[in-house]
Amino acid sequence: MERVRLLVFNAALGVLDYRVAERMTVEYGSVVVAPLGPRQVLGIVWEAERLSAQDVPASKLRPLLEVLPVPPLPAQLRRLIEWTADYYCAPLSSVARMALGSTAALRGGGTTTEYRLTGEEPKRMTPQRAAALDALQGEQGSIRELAELASVSEGVLRGMVGAGLLEPVMVDLDRPYPPARPDFAAPRLSEAQKEAADTFVAAVKDHAFAPFLLDGVTGSGKTECYFEAVAEALRLGRQVLVLLPEIALTENFLRRFEQRFGVAPILWHSSVKSSERRRAWRAIAHGEAQVVVGARSALFLPYASLGLIVVDEAHEVSFKQDDGVRYNARDVAVIRAKFEAIPVILASATPALESMQLAEAGVYRKIELPDRFGGAMLPEIEIIDLRKEVPERGRWLAPRLVEEMKDRLARGEQSLLFLNRRGYAPLTLCRHCGYRFQCPNCTAWLVEHRFSQRLACHHCGHEVPVPDACPECGTADCLVACGPGVERIADEVAEILPEARTALVTSDTMNTPEAIGDFVAKAEGGAINVIIGTQLVTKGYHFPELTLVGVIDADLGLEGGDLRAAERTYQQVAQVAGRAGRGEKPGEVLIQTRHPEASVIAALANGDRDAFYAAETESRRDAGAPPFGRWAAIIVSSEDQAEALSAARAIGGTAPNLPDMLVLGPAPAPLSLLRGRYRFRLLINARRSAELQKALRDWLEPLQFPRGVRVSIDIDPYSFV
Ligand code: ADP
Ligand code: ZN
């Protein structure tokens, strides 16, 4: 090639042509450095015919500066990037950036310096040093990473290096990973499990696109089944990607993987330290990383020879990214499998309606595991009608639930209370004047957190200390907490069962792998009697002594009237119910609600999943909602309210009039102020046949907005705020 077309990492420029310098060889997918004015940019060599660019005469082309020492991005990945940009109406360069993941890795391997404790006793002890000595036991990392871990300044750590308390260690950035062993500890599968596993193994051998929906009840051994497919990929020397919805779940997964394959898998998520990311990225690109477990960002990495993708807990909403490129990792995983010609397994006990529909239509092959492994029974589910069984004044647990918890404690079994609300109370108000604490940047109440003694916004992170007096009327000691959060439930448990050992599981308390590991070890070892948690505890865990689950407020998710509210409630409650009775003892679930007549609550109580899916399918069909019709949202925001409104009106005013597309709005978004930006939304409901993306592009591309206005498109939105 003499002339190349680059996708450059600058969304404003996008595509530029260059000349290949003498004695330089490039291929499609090569990552290169090119001159741009006085600066340099990173780019990927792309097939010229697939990207349009301005015609520049050859004589005017500037030469490339450098080809980076990494394998070219494979063609399948380039097609995936194009597909994603096109489908989600996102800039190509923003999507491609997700493939590069670690820019440091592009510079090649080599070594880096990390630091660890020497074990010397300090001659001079300060509170910061003591904190660092405590926090950094067994840790190794860059000064910056260690400073973050220990919550001390980098200066303190440099001082400790000088004092001989920390020592430098040279680290080979490309040191190989120990190999996973496919037959390290293979389980004996049940008949049903074996059948499922054999199907997956055959599909891995086939090396053809094959999407599966692994629909198995909680505790049926879905992980064990897809591990057999992982083992087959290992035998064939092909790479595997396992996507998990939350970092919190990776700890648990890691241990199970290690027990099965003898070594840990390779982790990829935002809290993996930079040298490990760099190492992982390079091993992935060179085909040496065997099994990668990660959050959705692992999906776009440049795997050299992918053989299988697994999306576990595939129904989870967190696979949908709601900033930057607004894509759904579950859906893109299937597309990636198609481009790579490999199987993809979507595993869930409560599949998304969209996935069920695709299985029904024969697009996905459904593999069912209807029973729990080892004869464990699914738990008994009962409803507590809060209008009839009223908790004591100022309390949130109905008497029957309290009795059952006492009973479990007496028997040495565990209870789990689920409430999907962080903090102590969702609203704080002044008893005297009625003042309510609201976030100045968002349309949201400030949530009280007792541990940190702060009022915090869960949208933007704004925080203030809890004041002694009302800021409005000045009355002292007049603030009242309204409604429960998990911290308040924990207080209540401490009053009712003072002798119980409790664990509070929320993203506030479980924010490091150590904290999660510690909790799991204690819960498994029976050192915890009552677990109180948010959606973090609803999935992935297997505590054999856990025999009672209490759902504090099943109606919570039904508020707000979002399209998937019923489905989400169903999934959450079914998942958390699935934590009960996984061992030899049977489990029981009590669901507190004020709407026992709601169809989703009734379906849960009757264990009638099919009826729920059928009813939900019908209501979606009537509404033209996914999977029968499609939605897209346009979100217009600005720090200036008038500017945002006029931009939203300009968009509304030029809406295309198409027979298969209905445009609703603009209207203020439910979260009409978010992080200091005023927001308006338009919602588009389209028939499946509509050329939705093209219509959106034709509509929006000609429009011009003031600089402060941001317009983002959300295809197949999950969030309606
Ligand atoms: P799911 O993901 O479907 O909820 P898991 O894969 O977590 O189920 O399995 C539930 C529990 O049963 C786990 O502790 C798992 O180790 C155990 N288990 C499942 N299948 C087997 C098997 N064939 N042999 C031994 N243990 C199994
Ligand atoms: Zn806020």
Cα–Cα separations (whole angstroms), residue 73 to 31, 92, 340, 454, 668: 8, 14, 13, 47, 42
- Ligand nearest to the backbone CA of 437: 2
Pick left, alpha or beta for residue 149 (phi over 0 → left; psi -120 to 50 → alpha; otherwise beta): alpha
CA distances from 68 to 23, 76, 103, 125, 546 (A): 14, 20, 11, 46, 53
Average pLDDT score over residue span 456-466 = 93
Express as a percent the part of the chain with pLDDT over 90: 77
Residue with CA at minimum distance from ligand 1 atom 9: 221
Atom of ligand 1 at shortest range from CA of 256: 16
- HSE on the CB side for 276, CA within 13 Å? 15
Q: Are 590 and 576 in contact (CB under 8 A)?
A: no
Of all protein residues, the one whose alpha carbon is nearest to atom 25 of ligand 1 is 187
Shortest-distance ligand to the CA of residue 673: 2
Residue 480's pLDDT is 93
Residue with CA nearest ligand 1 atom 26: 187
Instruction: Tell me if 177 sits within 8 A of 283, measured CB to CB.
Output: yes
Residues 6+ apart with CB under 8 A from 282: 70, 105, 109, 173, 174
Instruction: Using the mean position of ligand 1's atoms as its centre, give its distance from the Cα of residue 132 in Å.
Output: 40
Q: Which residues surround the ion ligand 2 when the cut-off is CB under 5 Å? A: 439, 441-442, 457, 459-460, 462
Q: Which long-range contacts (CB under 8 A, 24 or more apart) does 615-619 make?
A: 616/353, 616/566, 616/567, 616/570, 617/353, 617/356, 617/357
533 pLDDT above the threshold of 80: yes
- CA dihedral sign of residues 388, 391, 396, 402: negative
| Residue 442 known to bind ligand | yes
Containing 606, the helix (H) or strand (E) segment is helix 599-606
Instruction: Please tell me the distance between residue 544's alpha carbon and the centre of ligand 2 in angstroms.
Output: 40
pLDDT at 607 over 70: yes
| Protein residue closest via CA to atom 5 of ligand 1 | 221
Q: Which H, E and C letters describe 310-371, residue by residue?
A: EEECCCCHHHECCCCCCCEHHHHHHHHHHHHCCEEEEEECCCCHHHHHHHHCCCCEEEEECC
pLDDT band at 702 (very low <50, low <70, confident <90, very high): very high
Q: State the pLDDT at residue 226.
A: 98
Could you tell me if 678 and 641 are in contact, meaning their C-beta atoms sit under 8 angstroms apart?
A: yes
pLDDT confidence of residue 561? 61
Task: Give the pLDDT confidence of 343-372 residue by residue, as tens digits.
Answer: 999 999 999 999 999 999 999 999 999 999
- Would you place residue 560 in the very low, low, confident or very high pLDDT band (cuts 50, 70, 90)? low
- Average pLDDT for 332-345: 98
Q: Taking residues 620-629, what's their average pLDDT?
A: 90
Residue of minimum CA distance from atom 14 in ligand 1: 542
pLDDT at 46 over 90: yes
H or E segment to which residue 410 belongs: helix 399-411
pLDDT of residue 62: 95
Nearest CA to 337 out of 205, 206, 229, 209 is that of: 209
**Type of residue numbered 381:** I
Whether residue 513 is predicted with pLDDT greater than 90 in this model: the reply is no
pLDDT band at 186 (very low <50, low <70, confident <90, very high): very high
- Pocket test of ligand 1: the residue of 194, 310, 373 to mutate, having most ligand atoms within 8 Å of its CB, is 373
Query: Contact, 231 vs 383, CB < 8 A?
Result: no
Q: What is the DSSP letter of 578?
A: T
Q: Which helix (H) or strand (E) holds 428?
A: strand 427-430
- How many Cβ atoms from other residues are within 10 Å of residue 289's Cβ? 24
Q: Which residues of 524-557 are buried (b: 16+ CB within 10 A; e: fewer)?
A: eeeebbbbbbbbbbbbbbbbebbbbbbbbbbbbb
Q: Is 433 annotated as a binding residue?
A: yes
Q: Which residues line ligand 1 (CB under 6 A)?
A: 187-190, 193, 216, 218-224, 373, 542
Residue 460: nearest ligand to its CA? 2
Which domains are present in the chain? 3-78 (3.40.1440.60), 111-172 (1.10.10), 191-278+290-373 (3.40.50.300), 376-421+484-617 (3.40.50.300), 423-483 (no CATH), 629-715 (3.30.70.600)
Percent of the chain whose predicted confidence (pLDDT) is above 70: 100
**DSSP 8-class letter at 288:** -
Mean pLDDT of all residues belonging to the chain: 93
Instruction: From 180, 190, 206, 377, select the one nearest 292 (Cα to Cα).
Output: 180
Question: Is residue 30 pLDDT above 80, yes or no?
Answer: yes
How far is the C-alpha of 306 from the C-alpha of 284, rounded, in Å? 9
439 is in an annotated binding site: yes
Query: What is the whole-number distance in angstroms between the Cα of residue 678 and the centre of ligand 2?
Result: 12
Q: Is the pLDDT of residue 102 over 80?
A: no
Question: How many whole angstroms from 19 Cα to the centroid of ligand 2?
Answer: 49
**Counting ligands in written order, which one lies closest to the CA of residue 671?**
2
Handedness of CA 278, 280, 283, 286 (dihedral sign): negative
Q: For residues 332 and 80, is the Cβ–Cβ distance under 8 A?
A: yes
**C-alpha 91 – ligand 2 centre gap (Å):** 28
Rounded Cα gap, residues 517 and 623, in angstroms: 44
pLDDT at 303: 98
Q: Whose CA is nearest to atom 4 of ligand 1?
A: 219
The reply to whether 89 sits in an annotated binding site is no
The alpha carbon of 373 and the centre of ligand 1 are apart by a number of angstroms equal to: 6
Which is nearest to 279 in space by CA: 271, 288, 169, 270? 288
| CA-nearest residue, atom 10 of ligand 1 | 219
Report the pLDDT averaged over residues 97-111.
84
What is the number of the ligand closest to the CA of 188? 1
Q: Are 408 and 415 in contact (CB under 8 A)?
A: yes
Task: Give pTM, 2 decimals.
Answer: 0.91
* Distance of alpha carbon 403 from alpha carbon 417, whole angstroms: 14
E strand spans, 145-192: 166-172
Task: Using the mean position of ligand 1's atoms as its centre, give its distance from the Cα of residue 219 in Å.
Answer: 6
Q: Give the pLDDT score at 104.
A: 79
Of 14 and 199, the one with more pLDDT: 199
Query: What pLDDT score does 647 carry?
Result: 97
Q: Give me the mean pLDDT over the 405-419 stretch.
A: 96
Across the range 523-530, mean pLDDT stands at: 93
Q: Which two tokens stand for residue 671?
A: 């979260």
200, 223, 367, best to mutate for ligand 1 pocket (most atoms within 8 Å of CB): 223
Q: C-alpha angle with apex 603: 597 to 608, nearest 5 degrees?
A: 150
CA of residue 438 to ligand 2 center, whole Å? 8
In angstroms, rounded to a whole number, what is the distance separating the alpha carbons of residues 274 and 298? 15
